[in-house]
Amino acid sequence: MSSETNFSPTQINLSNLRVRPRRLRRNNSIRSMVQETQLTVNDFIYPLFVMEGENKTVEVSSMPGSYRFTLDLLLKEVKESYELGIKAIALFPLTPEDLKDSIGTESYNPDGLIQRSIRAIKKEIPDILIITDIALDPYNIDGHDGIVTETGEILNDETVEQLVKQALSQAEAGTDIVAPSDMMDGRIGAIRQALDGAGYHHVGILAYSAKYASAYYGPFRDALDSAPKAGDKKTYQMDPANTREALKEVELDIAEGADMIMVKPALAYLDIIHQVKANTNVPVAAYNVSGEYAMIKAAGKLGWIDENKVMLETLLSIKRAGADLILTYFAKQAAQLLQQK
Ligand code: PBG
């Protein structure tokens, strides 16, 4: 026996200590009973990349374990996800270069990749919720979420007009929820009005309300080949230094008709999630973005961290901060682990 284990306190006397928080941590049962936050598969929205072609997957190099799927294989992935209990997916298309132009016309092609994907998923797996992104960057030769002028300005109102057409086209194809991620002013109200005008009262809006100009989106832009060709997104996405601006954006989007709002990214913005939750009464989503995924995957691959444990702890932290829903590329992996618990 080492001298440490024979240690008997002589300097301090705790015999009158009444409050001993460790009583509630003594074993698994008591810990489960007093657990304040539970992560479940109902919390997850699974973002998926779809590309043209057949019977092919391409792993995203900066996102190991994440793939672009051709539509046939995407259906398989969606089915497996639904069987694991995942209730919603968020779809992102990879647009062939020759279909891109300066105003994102392909975004409202009734036979475009995203429209075909929505129809095919609705037919095969009708109960899974489909959330589709509204923004021009996957369709725009400039790689920006809005229309870019010759001098590099991002036009707001002209862009909103295109976004409205995109939303109507996705609604027509059968999407459940549209998710404007472009950060243009006034787009939530314009989209709501257009959807209602066309009889799509049932189509919801998940607004990317507090979306920051973040370096954490790098791997996503690799996945979709959608990085801006010039400049950055700072004239529309928010300054990472700002909190009150996030509350303002959230307030505006709710007033314009957003059913749910989002904070993005998640991890470096847990304080924002917390404050947004405290200041609103609609469901709050948080996007555990590509760079956050890549960091955990990379350190896990190197053997520097226990990937599964760090992943679950990370997702739990986002929930604890106040997120009701978490968009995460880990959705399937996490659902599998939660099922084993
Ligand atoms: C684009 C869009 C982006 C993401 C979702 N929609 C990237 C961007 O704004 O440049 C990022 C998702 C991620 O990094 O996982 N409208």
pLDDT tens, position by position, 127-169: 999 999 999 999 999 999 999 999 999 999 999 999 999 999 9
Closest CA to 144 of 227, 258, 209: 227
208 lines ligand 1 (CB under 6 A): no
pLDDT tens, position by position, 26-39: 999 999 999 999 99
214 lines ligand 1 (CB under 6 A): no
Q: Is 50 exceeded by the pLDDT of residue 1?
A: no
Cβ neighbours, 10 Å, residue 112:
21
Can you read off the two tokens belonging to residue 186? 């006034």
Mean pLDDT, the chain, as a whole number?
Answer: 96
Q: What is the pLDDT of residue 4?
A: 58
pLDDT tens, position by position, 17-76: 999 999 999 999 999 999 999 999 999 999 999 999 999 999 999 999 999 999 999 999
- Alpha-carbon span 268 to 217, nearest angstrom: 13
| Active site residues per annotation | 211, 264
Can you read off the two tokens belonging to residue 1? 């026996």
- This prediction's pTM: 0.95
Most ligand 1 atoms within 8 A of CB, residue of 137, 159, 206, 296 to mutate? 137
The percentage of the chain sitting over the pLDDT mark of 70, rounded to a whole number, equals 97
Q: In this structure, which residue's CA is closest to atom 10 in ligand 1?
A: 217
Most ligand 1 atoms within 8 A of CB, residue of 89, 144, 217 to mutate? 217
Q: Is 60 exceeded by the pLDDT of residue 177?
A: yes
Given a contact cutoff of 8 angstroms between Cβ atoms, the answer to whether 131 and 91 are in contact is yes
Q: Is 80 exceeded by the pLDDT of residue 276?
A: yes
Determine the distance separating the centroid of ligand 1 and the alpha carbon of 183, expressed in angstroms: 11
The percentage of the chain sitting over the pLDDT mark of 90, rounded to a whole number, equals 92
Q: Is 50 exceeded by the pLDDT of residue 244?
A: yes
Give, for 59, the enclosing helix (H) or strand (E): strand 57-59
- Alpha-carbon span 276 to 265, nearest angstrom: 13
pLDDT tens, position by position, 85-134: 999 999 999 999 999 999 999 999 999 999 999 999 999 999 999 999 99
Q: Is 90 exceeded by the pLDDT of residue 8?
A: no
pLDDT tens, position by position, 207-225: 999 999 999 999 998 888 8
Determine the distance separating the centroid of ligand 1 and the alpha carbon of 80, expressed in angstroms: 25
Provide the terminal-to-terminal Cα distance of the chain, rounded to the nearest Å. 37
Can you read off the two tokens belonging to residue 289? 């973005």
49 lines ligand 1 (CB under 6 A): no
Q: What is the pLDDT of residue 9?
A: 62
Which residues, including other chains, have CB under 8 Å from residue 238's CB and lie 6 or more apart? 183, 210, 211, 212, 213, 245, 246, 249
pLDDT tens, position by position, 76-87: 999 999 999 999
Give, for 332, the enclosing helix (H) or strand (E): helix 331-340
- Alpha-carbon span 220 to 289, nearest angstrom: 8
236 lines ligand 1 (CB under 6 A): no
Closest CA to 134 of 268, 298, 265, 262: 262
Give the relative orientation of helices 187-197 and 157-173 as an angle to the nearest 10 degrees: 40
